[in-house]
Chains A and B, each alone.
Chain A
Amino acid sequence: MIGDRRLATANIGVGVAAFGIATFMALMQALSRANLDLPWRSAKMYYLSVTGHGVMMALVFTTFFIMGMGVAFTTRALDRPLRLPRIAWAGFWTAVVGSLMALWAIFWGKATVLYTFYPPLQAHWAFYIGLTLLVVGSWLWSAAMLATYTAWRRENRGRPVPLAIHGLLATIIVWLIATVGVAAEMLLQLIPWSLGLTDTVDPLLARMLFWYFGHPLVYFWLIPAYVVWYTVLPKAAGGKLFSDPLARMVFALFILLSTPVGFHHQFMDPGIAAGWKALHTVTTAGILFPSLVTAFTIVASLEVAGRMRGATGLFDWIGKLPWGDPLVASVLLSMLLFAVGGFGGAINAAFGMNAVVHNTAWIQGHFHLTVGTATALTFMGTAYWLVPKLVGRELELGLLARVQPYLWFFGMLLFSIANHITGVMGMPRRVYDAAYGGSAVAAQWEGLTLVSAVGGILLFISASFFLLVMLGTVLAGKRAEQPAIEFAEPLDGPPARTGAFDRLWVWVVAAVVLVVIAYAYPLADHLGMERFGSPGFRPF
Chain B
Amino acid sequence: MHVHLYERIWMWGAGAIVALFLGATGFAAVSQGRLPPSHVETVDPTTVWSDPRFAERGVTTNPDGSVVVTGIALMFAFQPNEIRVPVNRPVTFRFTSSDVVHGFQIVGTNGNTMIVPGYVSQFTTVFDTPGEYLVVCNEYCGLGHHGMYATLIVEPAP
Contact = CB atoms under 8 A, between A and B. Distances in A.
Contacts of B58: none
B136 to A, nearest CB: 5
Contacts, number: 226
Interface in A101-123: 112, 114, 118, 120-121
Contact of A243 (B4, B22, B111, B149): B4
Interface in B122-158: 122, 133-134, 136-147, 149
A370 B30 CA distance: 31
B105 A428 contact: yes
Contacts of A529: 40, 42
Contact of B18 (A286, A429, A530): A286
A426 B110 contact: no
Interface string B40-80: 11111110000000000000000000000000000100000
A289 B146 contact: no
A43 B144 contact: yes
Interface in B67-103: 75, 99-101, 103
A281 B28 CA distance: 13
A350 B25 contact: yes
Q: Give the interface size bracket for B toward A.
A: 35 or more
B40 A271 contact: yes
A376 B88 CA distance: 47
Contacts of A535: 46
B137 A268 contact: no
A265 to B, nearest CB: 10
Q: Give the interface size bracket for A toward B.
A: 35 or more
A356 B110 contact: yes
A120 to B, nearest CB: 5
Contact of B118 (A268, A434, A534): A534
B142 A537 contact: yes
Contact of A352 (B36, B119, B121, B147): B36
Contact of A351 (B10, B18, B34, B101): B34
A189 interface: no
Given A426-B105, A431-B146, A442-B134, A289 B38 contact: no
A202 interface: yes
Contacts of A441: 107-108, 133-134
Interface string A144-186: 0000000000000000000000000000000000000000000
B38 A245 contact: no
A492 B3 CA distance: 11
Contact of B42 (A271, A427, A430): A271
B12 to A, nearest CB: 11
A274 interface: yes
A200 to B, nearest CB: 9
B43 A532 contact: yes
Interface in A408-442: 425-434, 436-437, 439, 441-442
A537 B36 CA distance: 28
A217 B55 CA distance: 41
B25 A293 contact: no
- Most chain A CB atoms below 10 A, which of B41, B100, B142: B100
A119 B134 CA distance: 26
Given A43-B144, A121-B142, 15 more contacts: A47-B140, A47-B143, A120-B117, A121-B140, A268-B112, A270-B116, A274-B36, A274-B38, A282-B22, A288-B14, A289-B18, A434-B146, A442-B134, A532-B44, A539-B142
25 contacts: A50-B140, A118-B101, A243-B7, A246-B7, A267-B36, A271-B42, A292-B17, A296-B14, A351-B28, A351-B35, A352-B32, A354-B36, A355-B111, A358-B105, A359-B114, A360-B105, A426-B134, A428-B138, A430-B145, A434-B146, A436-B134, A442-B107, A532-B45, A532-B46, A534-B46
Interface of B: 1-4, 6-7, 10-11, 13-15, 17-18, 21-22, 24-25, 28-29, 32, 34-46, 75, 99-101, 103, 105, 107-108, 110-122, 133-134, 136-147, 149
